[in-house]
Amino acid sequence: MIRHHLAYAALSLALLCGAPAFAQTPALSPSHLQVAREIVDLTGVSQNIDGIYAEFADNTKQMVGTTRPEMVKDVNEVLLALKPEADKRSEEVTKTAVEIFARKMTEADLKEVLAFFKSPVGQRYSALRPQAMEEIYKVLQPWSVQTSNYLFDRFSQEMRKRGHQL
């Protein structure tokens, strides 16, 4: 599940940064960063980053609860105590994502992107994106394995043609 959140965050960043190159700004104004922050929030990037801790906590509770039920109380207390640290780390990487967007796009361009995500069609896109990403991930995971296996087989064949055994 952590992979899902990482994949969502990475794909969200890739989709938004994959547009044509935009002018880079040497100094980022507070308003420029604010618009970039709104986009990071509206597109779900920050939520995906924040979700990593929740997924970690859920997986840890499940694993320990299954194998060491006598530790559940302590596990819950430790996870609760770690939450502020996790939140701080999430905010640091979210801030980095904001700065990346702000460096990649002018403030004017970011405002147009923001207007799209605030529009009815942008809101519909944002609402369907998590389900679409889940479906894409389900297709991507086996495709990735199959493609890697295929390419390795082809690589091995070509290396054998050149006299190399792997």
Question: How much is the pTM?
Answer: 0.66
35, 44, 37: which is closest to 15 by C-alpha? 44
What local confidence, expressed as pLDDT, does residue 91 receive?
A: 95
Q: Answer yes or no: is pLDDT of 103 > 80.
A: yes
- The SS3 call for residue 54 is helix
Q: What is the pLDDT of residues 13-37, one digit of tens each?
A: 555 555 444 444 468 999 999 999 9
Nearest to 35 by CA among 144, 117, 93, 146: 117
Per-domain boundaries in the chain: 2-118, 128-166
What is the average pLDDT across 75-99?
95
- Residue percentage of the chain with pLDDT more than 70: 84
Among residues 147, 146, 165, the alpha carbon closest in space to that of 156 is found at 165
